[in-house]
Chain A
C-alpha cells in the first residue's frame, strides 16, 4: 500500500518536474527572441550617430598669423561657425575688471583662454540661447553694448570675453577644446 502511494507520489513529482522543465524551455525561447530583438536595436540606433567620415573631420587647424589685435575671423569647426579673436589690451582689461561673481555664468577670462595666450579668445559662434550666429566677429558688425558679440535674434549681448551679460541666453559662448600647435597655429577639436 505504502509502495503504491510512494509510486504515485513519485509520478506526480516527475510530472511536476516535467511541467517545470517545459515551462522553462518556453520561457527560455521567448527570452531568446527578446534578447535577439534587443540586439538588433543596437545597429538601428547607432547608424544615426556620426559616421566615420564625419568624425574624421572633427578637428580643424586655424592659422592665427594673419589676425591683428582687435580683429576676429569666422571659420568653420564641425560645420558650425567658430570665432577666433585677438583681444586688445583694453579689451582684456575690460574683461578682467568685471567681478566674476556678478555674472550669470561665472567665468574669468583666464578660465576661457590658455595660460600665457590670454589675447586669443576662441569660441563657438553659436548663441547659447537658440543657436543663432551672433554679430561682432565681422568687420564693422554691431558688437553690442559690452563690446563683444551681439545676437540679433533675441538681443543677447556678450562682453569682450564672450560672456553673457544681457538678454535671454543662459550661458557664455562655448569655448571648444583646442590646442596650440605653435604660436600661430591652433588645432580646434583636439584635446591636450
Chain B
C-alpha cells in the first residue's frame, strides 16, 4: 500500500477473481493485514497491543450483545436480572464474568499501547492522525466503561453515577442544570439507567468505526518501529502476513491465557464487593471508588483540595479533563525530531518517572481520600502536568539525541533490537540499494 515493493493481491481461484472485480473485500483485507502490508521487521512485543486491543473490543461487543439479550434496564429489576444471568441463563455466569473482566483487560492493553506510543514517539509526524484517533477511542472507551459499570445497579453503580455526574455540577452557572439533564432527574434513576444502557450499547460500535479510521490512517505512513527511523528499503520490512500474524497469534495466546485466569479463578478480584449490594439511595458506601482503570484520573480529581480563585471542585474537574485533553496536543508540544526514546538520553528518565507517577496516582486514587494519599497525589499530579507541559517542551529543545541508525536493517544487524528477528550473517549491509520485491 504505502511502499512500492508491497506485494500485490493476485486472486488465483476464479471465484476470488470474480469477487475481486465486484466487491474487492479480500483485496482490502490482504492490503490491510495480509501479505500486502509491509511492516518494519524490527517490531518488538509492544507492537502486539494494537491487535490485542482490537481483540478485546470484539470480545466485549460479542459478550455484551449476548448479555443485552438477558439484561433488563429498569431500576426495579436490573440488579435481579444480573443475578438471573449469573444463576439461570445457560453459561450466563461465564459470559458476564468475561464481559466484566474483558473491560479491565481492554484497559490494560490500551494503557500499554498508549505508553508504547509515548515511548516510541508514535504521536509524531506523519502519524499524528493515528494518535489523535487513538485518544478519541480512549475517551469513548472511558464513557462506555463508566456507563457499563452503572448497569448492574449495585451500590457502586449508583454512587459512581452520582459522583461522576456531579462533576458536571462544578461548571459555573449551568452546571447543575447539565447534571439534572444528564440524569433526567435529580438523582440516578430509571431515566439515567435507560439512557446509559442505550449509549453503552451504541458507543462500542462508534469505537469500532473509529478503529477502522485509525487503521486506515495508520496504513498511509505504515507502522512505526522501535528505532523511529522510517522505512527506507525492502530489507527494512516484512509482509504483515505471515510474519506478524504469527507473532500476533502468540500474543493472543498469552493474552487469552491471562484473561482465562482472571475470568475463571478470580472473576471478582478487579471488581468491588459493594457492587453486589443493590443500589440504595439512602446509604453511601464507606469508600466510593471507580473501577481501577479510572483511579489515576480520580486521584487527580481529588488532589485539588483548596479553593483558589476557582472552587476546588472545579479545579479538580478541569485538571482531570485536561490530563486527557493535553494528549491531543502532544505532537505540537514535543518538537524533538527523534521519535524513539531509546535515542533520547535526557528524556528517557523522565518517561520512566511518568510511568511510575501514573502508577502512584492509580494507587492513591483507589485509596481513602485522607493523608498521606492526598499529599502524594498532589505531588504526583503536579509531576503529571509538569511532565507534559513544562519538562517535555524544554527537554525536546535542549536535548542532544544519540546518533540514529542509518536504517532499520542496519539496526537489526547490529543487534540493537534484541526481540526482533536477527538478520543472518549474510544479511544486507547498510547502503545497499533497495531491491525490487520478488
Using a CB–CB distance below 8 Å, which chain A residues touch chain B?
A: 29, 33, 42-44, 46-49, 51-54
Contacts and interface: CB of A to CB of B under 8 A. Distances in A.
Nearest to B91: A43
Contacts of A42: 91
Interface stretch (B82-90, B107-115, B176-184, B194-202): B82-90
A46 B90 CA distance: 6
8 A-B pairs with the lowest CB-CB distances in the bound complex, closest first: A43-B91, A52-B88, A51-B88, A53-B88, A51-B89, A46-B90, A47-B90, A47-B91
Given A51-B88, A52-B88, A53-B84, A43 B94 contact: yes
B88 A43 contact: no
B66 A47 contact: yes
B84 A49 contact: no
Nearest to B242: A26
Contacts of A51: 70, 84, 88-90, 92
Task: Kindly name the residue among A46, A47, A49 whose own CB sees the greatest number of chain B CB atoms within 10 A.
Answer: A47
A53 B88 CA distance: 6
B62 A47 contact: no
A43 B70 CA distance: 14
A33 B90 CA distance: 24
Contacts of B70: 47, 51
B11 interface: no
A49 B91 CA distance: 10
Contacts of A43: 90-91, 94-95
Interface in B65-91: 66, 69-70, 84, 87-91
Contacts of B89: 47, 51-52
A47 B92 CA distance: 7
Interface of B: 62, 66, 69-70, 84, 87-92, 94-95, 249
B87 A52 contact: yes
A28 B84 CA distance: 39
Task: Kindly name the residue among A33, A44, A49 whose own CB sees the greatest number of chain B CB atoms within 10 A.
Answer: A44
A37 to B, nearest CB: 11
10 contacts: A29-B249, A42-B91, A46-B91, A47-B89, A47-B90, A49-B90, A51-B88, A52-B87, A52-B88, A53-B88
Contacts of A47: 66, 69-70, 89-92, 95
Nearest to B249: A29
Contacts of B84: 51, 53
A48 to B, nearest CB: 7
Nearest to A42: B91
A51 B94 CA distance: 14
Contacts of A53: 84, 88
Given A29-B249, A51-B84, A53-B84, A44 B66 contact: yes
Contacts of A29: 249
Nearest to A40: B62
A54 B92 CA distance: 14
Contacts of A46: 90-91
B70 to A, nearest CB: 8
A165 B372 CA distance: 86
A150 B92 CA distance: 42
A42 B69 CA distance: 16
A51 B62 CA distance: 19
A33 B249 contact: yes
Nearest to A56: B88
A46 B88 CA distance: 12
Contacts of B69: 47-48
A43 B91 CA distance: 6
Nearest to A54: B88
A33 B256 CA distance: 12
Nearest to A49: B90
Contacts of B90: 43, 46-47, 49, 51-52
